[in-house]
Amino acid sequence: MNNIPDQRHEERAQKFKQLTECSRCKPMGRLLRKFWQPVALAESVPVSGAIPLTIMGEELTLYRGDSGALHLVGGRCAHRRTLLHTGWVVGEEIRCIYHGWQFDAKGACVRRPAEANTGMPRTQIAAYPVKEYLGLVFAYLGEGEPPEFDLPRKLLLEGEGTLVANGRERWDNNWFQQVENSLDAVHVSFVHMALTVGPFGAAVTGAIPELSYDETSSGIRQTALRSATNVRVSDWTFPNNNHVTVPGLSPEDPWIDVFVWMIPNDEENTTRFMIYGQQAGATEESRKRFQDYFAKYGKYDPAEHHDELFASHVWDNPEDTFVGLTAAQDYLSIRGQARITAREDEILGRSDLGIVTLRKLFFRELELQEAGQPTKSWRSSTDSVHLPKQPGQESTA
């Protein structure tokens, strides 16, 4: 029996597996750690409080000192490995619940109360730099000095008068298929027609787009041309952020900029951190609609509704046909691929140009990294993304 096809299949499986990995000892884990990554909503950590995180397979403790400053250290105590977030924040340090060992913000053990007469051995847990930005907490989990905080910046949202809201969803599947969805403009014509057609699906329409992809200083610009007045452009930032725009909450509202990061918690779980922005200049009614809506519906998480979504294929909340519906539609298709999709079994076509472009880009960067050569020096894009307004509002200019 000729086993060459099986061997090729296995080689393909092994190659694609690299895209899904995230631990520090794997090439992709090292590549992801070269970037500032979002790890939490800033609001999720109270002053003098601590929360546990798992990011890229690594257990962490995020805490706010009494000063309000954020600190990120290892998840477990160096003594007998209990979780540190269950202990106490003391000033800018954290004390373990079990026997009171205390660690400073650099991860150094500074107190061992029950070992008073035995001196202080040099004991260290991990510690990483953090930065708050537009409602999110970013961390640098890589080696050496962190890069400049440039790539995560969204200049479009930094202007005075811009309204910003945050979201967080915790999906139970691999991060890379979520990233791939960002470069799959065709899915909008189908996925966002499912369950019920919300304003986003209605604006983009079910027309099949002509696609083009251009590598930029920050990632990939995707253009999906559906008609002369329906050109959807999005900017994807290496390695795991996507910027799209979606209709406002009412026809007179400006379109909303959405930035989504997809950060692996481990290989089968991903947190999506969102920043929604309404640029300055909107009317008072529009601003209020934006704020009220996100206060009420901005934290919907489709993964919490997994069973009913997969069982019913029904969207039963007519009041929220924006964030919740769009997330549920994407979740059904991307989670429906399984927790880690079998890329070696796919059959790709011309409409998958974005997927192919994305994978090539990652393999290029991984190969450079593993060969000890410099990877691309990605820089934040200063371009803003322009998308068509809703049908009927389009300028003919």
* Site for ligand FES, rule CB under 6 A: 77, 79-80, 82, 96, 98-101
Least Å distance, CB 54 to ligand FES, is 19
Q: Specify the residue, 21 or 330, whose C-beta has the smaller distance to Fe ion.
A: 330
Q: Which residues pair with 263 in a beta bridge?
A: 271
CA dihedral 137, 138, 142, 145 (to 10 degrees): -110
Q: Specify the residue, 9 or 111, whose C-beta has the smaller distance to ligand FES.
A: 111
Dist CA 78 CA 96 (whole Å)? 9
- From the CB of residue 240, how many other CB atoms can be counted at a distance below 10 Å? 24
Dist CA 379 CA 11 (whole Å)? 34
Least Å distance, CB 67 to ligand FES, is 24
Least Å distance, CB 167 to Fe ion, is 14
Least Å distance, CB 258 to Fe ion, is 10
User: Is residue 352 a contact point for Fe ion (CB under 5 A)?
Assistant: no
Nearest position to Fe ion, beta carbon: 330
| Cα→Cα distances 236→184, 270, 378, Å | 11, 18, 12
Please list, in sequence order, all residues whose beta carbon lies within 8 angstroms of the beta carbon of residue 255, skipping any fewer than 6 positions away: 245, 246, 247, 248, 387, 389
Dist CA 102 CA 80 (whole Å)? 13
**The entry of Fe ion, ligand FES, none that residue 330 binds, CB within 5 to 8 Å by partner kind:** Fe ion
**The entry of Fe ion, ligand FES, none that residue 217 binds, CB within 5 to 8 Å by partner kind:** none
Least Å distance, CB 343 to Fe ion, is 19
Q: Specify the residue, 40 or 96, whose C-beta has the smaller distance to ligand FES.
A: 96
Stretch that binds Fe ion, among 228-236, 285-293, 322-330, 375-383 (CB under 5 A): 322-330
Map residue 340 onto helix, strand or coil. Answer: coil
If 0-12 CB within 10 Å is exposed, 13-18 middle and 19+ buried, where does residue 274 land?
A: buried
Among 330, 335, 362, 381, binds Fe ion (CB under 5 A): 330
Nearest to 212 by CA among 225, 228, 226, 229: 225
Structure tokens at 116: 């008073």
Phi, psi torsion values for 182, nearest 5 degrees: -65, -30
- From the CB of residue 173, how many other CB atoms can be counted at a distance below 10 Å? 22
**The entry of ligand FES, Fe ion, none that residue 96 binds, CB within 5 to 8 Å by partner kind:** ligand FES
Q: Specify the residue, 94 or 204, whose C-beta has the smaller distance to Fe ion.
A: 204
107 to 166, contacts with Fe ion by CB under 5 A?
A: none
| Cα→Cα distances 240→50, 343, 389, Å | 26, 19, 26
**The entry of Fe ion, ligand FES, none that residue 80 binds, CB within 5 to 8 Å by partner kind:** ligand FES
Looking at residue 118, what DSSP letter applies?
A: S
Q: Specify the residue, 257 or 330, whose C-beta has the smaller distance to Fe ion.
A: 330
Structure tokens at 127: 């510690």
Q: Specify the residue, 77 or 249, whose C-beta has the smaller distance to ligand FES.
A: 77
Least Å distance, CB 232 to Fe ion, is 11
Q: Specify the residue, 111 or 153, whose C-beta has the smaller distance to ligand FES.
A: 111
Query: Could you tell me if 260 and 273 are in contact, meaning their C-beta atoms sit under 8 angstroms apart?
Result: yes
- From the CB of residue 389, how many other CB atoms can be counted at a distance below 10 Å? 17
Least Å distance, CB 77 to ligand FES, is 3
Residue 31 is inside which H or E element, if any? helix 27-32
Least Å distance, CB 356 to ligand FES, is 49
Q: Specify the residue, 98 or 149, whose C-beta has the smaller distance to ligand FES.
A: 98
**The entry of Fe ion, ligand FES, none that residue 369 binds, CB within 5 to 8 Å by partner kind:** none
Dist CA 391 CA 226 (whole Å)? 12
Structure tokens at 297: 């519906």
**The entry of ligand FES, Fe ion, none that residue 82 binds, CB within 5 to 8 Å by partner kind:** ligand FES
Q: Specify the residue, 78 or 340, whose C-beta has the smaller distance to ligand FES.
A: 78
- From the CB of residue 4, how many other CB atoms can be counted at a distance below 10 Å? 7
Q: Specify the residue, 142 or 302, whose C-beta has the smaller distance to Fe ion.
A: 302
Least Å distance, CB 220 to Fe ion, is 16
Least Å distance, CB 272 to ligand FES, is 33
Dist CA 358 CA 262 (whole Å)? 15
Stretch that binds Fe ion, among 235-243, 250-258, 268-276, 327-335 (CB under 5 A): 327-335
Positions touching Fe ion (CB under 5 A) are 330
